Amino acid sequence: MFVDINNVNVHYKVSGEGQDVVLLHGWGTSMDTFESVHNLLDDNFRVFSIDFPGFGESQEPPEAWSVDDYAHFLSHFVQKLGIENPILIGHSFGCRVITRYAYDHDVHKIIFTGGAGIKPKRKMDYYMKVYTYKFVKKLLDLPILNHYKDDILTKWKGKVGSSDYKQASAVMQQTLSKVVNEDLREYMPHIDVPTLLVWGENDTATPLEDGKLMEQLFPDAGLVTFEKAGHYAFLEQNKRFLVIVDNFLEQDKGE
């Protein structure tokens, strides 16, 4: 199904009846990553899976978006589809959007897996790349060189950017640059709803330390660690994840 949200064509699916659940995928993926969760929950809940703008079959945003922009998008989606006091389940980037959304809106429960939102500690080589890029960008504003600025910067980004960055369009590259540096920990202490955190102990994208910190920051949070699992712990140990989610939401079935 598709729905127009502020002139952005958004792909989603919905099935089941009961308490509303919204599934929000991570960066560079689509709602398909949560298919097993959707299929588990729609026996007892009304479940929505969304392709974020710029991912899956959804249209790209008209310009580079911040986390706030994605949270506003989610707010409009919730209003348009008649979703009330939802349970929000997210992976990685989806957790950023949930955090910002839940700060301003009613949410029943939250489930994070490999949640992003804590600004990462950077090594010196990262800052060297950033400062070098800024120097080169300024240098290319000089006469003659400015004619080649776009080509040179595009090639530079292609060499030093992450795989997510390299694979994204221009708009989504700018969006990634915005969202990856946003630190959302200031919002977390104000989101006082039951919160389940599921982390892979070997997660290198959002380290387990982030999960432990979120457990302290969210007022009503509990952390479950999956041994020998990484950033996609919910897929690597899918059956275990589904059992834990099912138990966490047991009291909400049929509401």
Q: Mind listing the pLDDT tens digit of every residue in the chain (255 residues)?
A: 999 999 999 999 999 999 999 999 999 999 999 999 999 999 999 999 999 999 999 999 999 999 999 999 999 999 999 999 999 999 999 999 999 999 999 999 999 999 999 987 655 444 444 444 454 455 556 565 565 556 654 554 555 444 554 566 889 888 988 898 899 999 999 999 999 999 999 999 999 999 999 999 999 999 999 999 999 999 999 999 999 999 999 999 976
* Alpha carbon 156 to chain centroid, angstroms: 26
Question: Are 44 and 112 members of one domain?
Answer: yes
Q: Tell me which residue of 229, 230, 224 sits closest to 245, measured CA to CA.
A: 224
Alpha carbons 142 and 218: distance in angstroms, whole number: 49
Alpha carbons 114 and 213: distance in angstroms, whole number: 13
Question: Are 167 and 200 members of one domain?
Answer: no
Question: Are 16 and 38 members of one domain?
Answer: yes
Question: Are 219 and 111 members of one domain?
Answer: yes
Write down the pLDDT at residue 176.
Answer: 87
For 72, the domain range is 2-119+182-252
Write down the pLDDT at residue 154.
Answer: 57
Q: How many domains are there within the chain?
A: 2
Alpha carbons 250 and 240: distance in angstroms, whole number: 15
Question: Are 54 and 141 members of one domain?
Answer: no
Tokens of 214: 């979120």
Question: Are 35 and 69 members of one domain?
Answer: yes
